[in-house]
Amino acid sequence: MTGQDGPRRGRGRRPADEVRGEVLAAAGDLLLAEGMAGFTFERVSAISGASRTTLHKWWPSRGALALEAYFRTVESTLAFPDTGDIAADLTEQVRAFVRLMTETPAGRVIAELIGSAQTDPELAAAYRENYSAPRRALAVTAVEAARDRGQVRDDVDAEAVVDQLWGACYHRLLIPDQPLTEDFAGTLVDQLVHGIGRR
Amino acid sequence: MTGQDGPRRGRGRRPADEVRGEVLAAAGDLLLAEGMAGFTFERVSAISGASRTTLHKWWPSRGALALEAYFRTVESTLAFPDTGDIAADLTEQVRAFVRLMTETPAGRVIAELIGSAQTDPELAAAYRENYSAPRRALAVTAVEAARDRGQVRDDVDAEAVVDQLWGACYHRLLIPDQPLTEDFAGTLVDQLVHGIGRR
């Protein structure tokens, strides 16, 4: 229970989980609307109604709060399809990821978070723990299931597949020499599944 | 000619190119020794003997100076081999890149530069112009030459190959969920050249 630190909307005490969920939803909206520049405990407190004391109790830094809010917000968009056809599933998922990065402010937010993480070890650890490691695990599980169904090579390195698909997209997001597009997503999967070497 | 702004070592006026080369060498040494944290115009001036006025005249920001110094320092390490065997050449080049990123302070420096570039448009532009675009072009040329020799698919997307090999390495450098190793470099080339799909 959050007691006096809960939302001040005259509704009395509510379960901490409920308050936490509301804070994360409000924080996610703020983050996607304005990016990291406008993202402060003070504004999240004002928008969500939760006190700054509560926010500081639950999240050690604005980076940690931003990360969790980001993850909750994009989680449903990034659900991993499982149709039994690994090439189609990978293409669909990487395309959805590209849309999220390019058609919403999520791309700018995640680029700023990764950028800040390069000189902020706590943020880097929170990023890996709350976001990148669990998302990587989802993709690895899908690739390994495809291997078990006989759709990909027995000796596939599923971790490296993550870097060659989503990592390739992050590369264009962070160093935009070339455009990040849905066609690019399709090309990544095609080249990795079929290989670029002549047969 | 740099005139009064040249190095103050009592050797009189020297060609600007010579002074510039010395500054970049000194700046590169400082950068690889201490990373971006200790990299300032003041220290580069003290080490190189060039006045701060000269440094500011040639480089608009410490980021721009750091980038050019970095590029000059690692250029020879990152030469692109051309043995006529594209898989071997790619493996050798990506492994050399991984060694540079993991066995020298270059990895930390480049991660900090990419990180800062996310909120510094001038640094981002300088990074692409002075470093990432020319290096990308070298790799694309090598892949297209291999295509013309018949070693890779006619419809290969050489730009995407860059993202699926070096981009995959940058992904592990910037978001270190998994280790960046020479074995990983070999796996990247193998999976991309031969494909992960069952034949």
Same domain (yes/no): A46, A95? no
pLDDT at residue B9, rounded to an integer: 52
> Residue A61's pLDDT is what?
87
**One domain, residues A43 and A65:** yes
Widest pairwise Cα distance in chain A: 70
For the segment B41-62, what is each residue's pLDDT rounded down to a tens digit? 999 999 999 999 999 999 988 8
Asked if B192's CB is within 8 angstroms of A192's CB, the reply is yes
Residue B13 lies in a domain: yes
**What's the whole-number mean pLDDT along residues A79-101?**
92
What one-letter code names the amino acid at B126? A
How much is the pLDDT for A9?
52
For residue B188, is it within any domain?
Answer: yes
What is the arithmetic mean of pLDDT over A175-186? 98
For chains A and B, CB pairs below 8 A equal 164
In a domain, A99, yes or no: yes
Residues A92 and A154 in one domain: yes
Q: What are phi and psi of B152, to 5 degrees?
A: -125, 165
> Contact A72/A95 with Cβ under 8 angstroms?
no
Residue B84 and residue B142: Cα distance in Å, rounded? 9
Which tokens belong to A27? 């924080």
Separation of alpha carbons B171 and A167, rounded Å: 5
Answer with the one of A71, A87, A115 that is the final residue of a domain.
Answer: A71
Q: Does A178 sit within 8 Å of B132, measured CB to CB?
A: no
Q: What percent of chain A has pLDDT over 90?
A: 68
**Residue from B191, B193, B194 to probe the interface with A (highest A Cβ count within 10 Å):** B191
Maximum pairwise Cα distance, chain B: 70
Contact call for residues A50 and A18 (beta carbons, < 8 A):
no
> Do A133 and A188 share a domain, yes or no?
yes
Q: Is residue B199 part of a domain?
A: no
- Domain check: are B25 and B45 in the same one? yes
Exposed, middle or buried by CB within 10 Å (0-12, 13-18, 19+), for A171? buried
Burial of B117 (0-12, 13-18, 19+ CB in 10 A): buried
Supply the pLDDT for residue B80.
Answer: 82
- Residues (pLDDT < 70) of chain B are 1-12, 199
Q: pLDDT tier at A2 (50, 70, 90 boundaries)?
A: very low
Do A14 and A66 lie in one domain? The reply is yes
Nearest CA-CA partner of B188 in A93, A196, A173: A196
Question: Looking at beta carbons, which residues of chain A come within 8 Å of B196?
Answer: 152-153, 156, 161, 192-193, 195
Is the same domain home to A189 and A101?
yes
* Same-domain pairing of B84 and B56: no
Residues facing residue B197 across a β-bridge = A152
Q: How far is CA A162 from CA A138, B3, B31, B91, B178, in A?
A: 10, 54, 31, 19, 10
Helix (H, G, I), strand (E, B) or coil at A3: helix
From A184, which residue of chain B is nearest by alpha-carbon distance? B160
- ipTM reported for the complex, 2 dp: 0.87
Distance of CA A67 to the CA centre of its chain: 8
Task: Assess whether B169 and B123 both reside in one domain.
Answer: yes
Which residues in chain A have Cβ-Cβ distances shorter than 8 Å to B169? 163
A92: exposed, middle or buried (Cβ count in 10 Å: 0-12, 13-18, 19+):
middle
- Confidence at residue A1, expressed as pLDDT on a 0 to 100 scale: 40
Task: Indicate whether A199 belongs to any domain.
Answer: no
Identify the residue among B162, B170, B177, B184 best suited for mutation to test binding to A, counting A beta carbons within 10 A and taking the highest.
B177
Q: CATH number for the domain including B94?
A: 1.10.357.10
Chain A residue nearest residue B190, CA to CA: A195
Number of domains in chain B: 2
The domain boundary, picked from B71, B92, B117, lies at: B71
Does B160 sit within 8 Å of A184, measured CB to CB?
yes
Same structural domain for residues A131 and A182?
yes
**Residue B115 domain boundaries:** 75-194
B159-162 long-range contacts (CB < 8 A, ≥24 apart) are B159/A178, B160/A168, B160/A184, B160/A187, B160/A188, B160/A191, B161/A191, B161/A196, B161/B192, B162/B136
CB atoms within 10 A of CB A146: 26
